[in-house]
Amino acid sequence: MNFSNWLWLWTAIMPLAVILYYFFRKKYKDQKISSLLFWEEMMKEIQASPYLKKLQHHLLFYLQMAALVLCVLALMGPYLEDEGLEGNEFIFVVDTSATMLAGSPSQFEVQQEKMRELAEEAGGKPVTIVTAGESPEVLVREEQETEKLLETIDGLEVDYGNEEMEQALLYAESLAGDESAVIHVFTDALDRGRLAGKTGRAYVVHGMERPLANASVLQFGLAEGEGGVRAIVQAANHGTEKLAGEIIVTSDSGTRQQKPVVLDAGAEIVVPFEGLANGNVWRAELQIGDEYKADNEMSAILQQPVDQIYLDAALHELVASGFSALGMEAVLMESDAVGKSTGAPIATNQTDLLANPAPVLLLGRNDASPVEVSGKIEWMDHPLLAYAPLDGVFVSHLYPGFDGYETLASIGGQPFIQLSPEGDIAVLADIQSTDWPLNPSFPLFLWSAVQSLSQSGDFLGFFQPNEYRSVALASDSGEWEIFKEDAYLSSYLEGQGAFKAPAEPGVYNVVGEDEAMKLIVRLSNEEKMLAAGTSYRIGEAAEKAETVRHSVMPWLIVVILLLLIAEWEVYRRGIARR
């Protein structure tokens, strides 16, 4: 132990003064009493050292001396030295995706404990905490108070969304002051190749080094048949060991059915359930001995099947062939009559029909000219494209996009597929300018589009955790409340930006003044795949590690207070005996 202020050593005169007081205070004359002469021989040893006798039997003196000596030490600023962290500034990039819930204790809890340790070892150096969600968020910036850092770390929560680590790392680099900053990444797995091109920075990656057993529900679908409801559950084992369990499907009406399953390592199976009793909202649950439970459930809603669509005769015949392959009735209508149809979705290229009440699948545009494009299609993870990946699709020309629409897929930064605030779907290309009809994903996209356009009025749709989306909500009050079962979560005000879905997967009720709708949040397939990583370090910080001082004063103050309490108790007992 060292001291930071030796000048206060002069205060040691205070305990010396107390000792002198005890030595030279008034002495009393001893008077021999005949009845005690018998004990004189036995007391000679103690009488030879009268001052030692007083010290041995004066507890109050000891307590006073101990408190004074500790006060002197406290004034001198005692501290203990410890090896600090390398770097002059620290940035914590925290993965808050659903996969961080894997393990027991969860990977997120393990990383929180590591963050607490590093925050305490920072020794007052600035620390910035950034979450790596869909868009990076700074929780604290260059915070130096350890208590505030620990409070922020304890308040971290998993938001179930996809982690955008590349974007978060770029953002963290922009926050770093100089080359002395060290970026600590807390995640389950981060490939070294993603940091290979990042030079001039020091990175420390804290990963999940142990592979975990994991099985999940990949898909859950419902259909209404003659013998009742038919459900199909697709389950997969993503681990390297064989797992056995059961799949249970339940409805809001109380219907329950279960089947045993055995999943080999890396295998996928489809489990059908036939003849289920009627129900509206259903849940599929995989009960199995894995170490990641967040992906073991999925909810679905039973909707009325759509078997008809009104098709504009101006569209290419391949569109009608795509709907025919789905077993749907495509009613071919002249362009001037298709806008008058009701009761089913419309497929057309007439942009003026977007203002009609009927749902519209726009394939191309009749009010603009296309421009040549090149490049690969980039698309977002959205329910509309869940069954229709766009890999290998070639598009030569695109029409201009719509302002205010959500872009689901793009080519070279130009919109290819958009979603309107009312739920209409716009494909900004003529079918004949693509090879999409030759791809198996084309009829699947048509099916997803029709299902999306024909959703019932009491179902708001399928969302991903924390997804922002424009929705068609209208009520007299303009306010909607979101509930999970009977628990209130949040409110949404019409016209105050895009609607934000809840974070946790499950079924929610969106309640307006005179209307209520169901909303289902589903975990993305990306968050159902666990990856075991490693902990490693890349780069060196310009500022080397230095010792950190930990003050001993708080502990000394606590001991001094306890001594004062004991001294008061001794004094009180002494007064009481007089």
**Three-state DSSP string of 56-120:** HHCHHHHHHHHHHHHHHHHHCCEEEEEECCCCCEEEEEECCCHHHHCCCCCHHHHHHHHHHHHHH
Question: Based on C-alpha coordinates, what's the Rg of the chain?
Answer: 37
Do 148 and 60 touch, CB atoms closer than 8 A? no
The tokens of 278 are what?
Answer: 């009627």
Task: Clarify whether residues 199 and 270 are in a common domain.
Answer: no
Question: Which residues pair with residue 493 across a beta bridge?
Answer: 479
Q: CATH number, domain at 405? A: 3.40.50.880
So what's the pLDDT on residue 341?
A: 75
**Of 251, 278, 303, the domain-final residue:** 303
Provide DSSP, 359-378.
-EEEES-SSS--EE--S-EE
CA distance 570 to 258: 72
Range of the domain at 239: 215-303
Burial class from Cβ neighbours inside 10 Å (0-12, 13-18, 19+) for residue 495 reads exposed
Task: Clarify whether residues 108 and 154 are in a common domain.
Answer: yes
Asked, for residue 19, whether it belongs to a domain, the answer is: yes
Task: Clarify whether residues 250 and 344 are in a common domain.
Answer: no
Asked, for residue 461, whether it belongs to a domain, the answer is: no
Task: Clarify whether residues 233 and 325 are in a common domain.
Answer: no
CA distance 16 to 18: 5
The tokens of 172 are what?
Answer: 């963290």
> Cis (ω within 30 of 0) for the bond into 400?
no
Task: Clarify whether residues 537 and 558 are in a common domain.
Answer: no
Closest CA to 102 of 502, 523, 507, 383: 523
Closest CA to 215 of 273, 161, 288: 288
First to last CA, the chain: 44
CA distance 572 to 578: 10
So what's the pLDDT on residue 525?
A: 86
The tokens of 119 are what?
Answer: 């925050």
Asked, for residue 410, whether it belongs to a domain, the answer is: yes
Residue type, 42: M
Number of other CB atoms surrounding residue 28 within 10 Å: 5
So what's the pLDDT on residue 55?
A: 47
**Of 453, 481, 516, the domain-final residue:** 453
Task: Clarify whether residues 335 and 429 are in a common domain.
Answer: yes
In the chain (578 residues long), the average pLDDT of successive 10-residue segments reads 67 72 61 60 54 56 80 76 70 92 91 92 87 88 91 92 87 83 90 77 86 91 80 91 94 90 92 87 93 93 74 89 82 85 83 87 92 90 78 92 92 92 90 90 86 73 85 76 90 84 92 86 89 82 55 81 81 63
Asked, for residue 464, whether it belongs to a domain, the answer is: no
Asked, for residue 314, whether it belongs to a domain, the answer is: yes
State the alpha helices, DSSP H only, in 199-294. none
**Of 303, 331, 353, the domain-final residue:** 303
Do 233 and 271 touch, CB atoms closer than 8 A? yes
Burial class from Cβ neighbours inside 10 Å (0-12, 13-18, 19+) for residue 486 reads exposed
User: Which residue matches tokens 């089913």?
Assistant: 344
The tokens of 326 are what?
Answer: 């789905």
CA distance 532 to 115: 20
Asked, for residue 33, whether it belongs to a domain, the answer is: no
- At residue 321, φ and ψ (nearest 5 deg) are -65, -35
Task: Clarify whether residues 315 and 291 are in a common domain.
Answer: no
Asked, for residue 89, whether it belongs to a domain, the answer is: yes
Q: CATH number, domain at 244? A: 2.60.40.10
Task: Clarify whether residues 53 and 138 are in a common domain.
Answer: no
Q: Check residue 457 and report its DSSP letter.
A: T
Alpha-carbon separation of residue 532 from 19, 107, 209, 213, 243 (angstroms): 66, 11, 6, 11, 19
Q: Which residues contact 333 (CB under 8 A, 6 or more apart)?
A: 310, 311, 312, 313, 341
So what's the pLDDT on residue 449?
A: 86
Alpha-carbon separation of residue 62 from 25, 575, 576 (angstroms): 17, 18, 20
478: left (phi over 0), alpha (psi -120 to 50) or beta: left
- Residue length of the chain: 578
Closest CA to 96 of 152, 175, 147: 152
Task: Clarify whether residues 508 and 427 are in a common domain.
Answer: no
Q: CATH number, domain at 141? A: 3.40.50.410
Secondary structure of residue 410 in the 3-state scheme: strand
So what's the pLDDT on residue 368?
A: 92
State the alpha helices, DSSP H only, in 212-266. none
Task: Clarify whether residues 148 and 198 are in a common domain.
Answer: yes
Task: Clarify whether residues 120 and 149 are in a common domain.
Answer: yes
Q: Check residue 337 and report its DSSP letter.
A: T
Closest CA to 293 of 215, 208, 209: 215
Task: Clarify whether residues 185 and 318 are in a common domain.
Answer: no
So what's the pLDDT on residue 157?
A: 92
Q: Give the count of domains, the chain.
A: 5
Asked, for residue 35, whether it belongs to a domain, the answer is: no
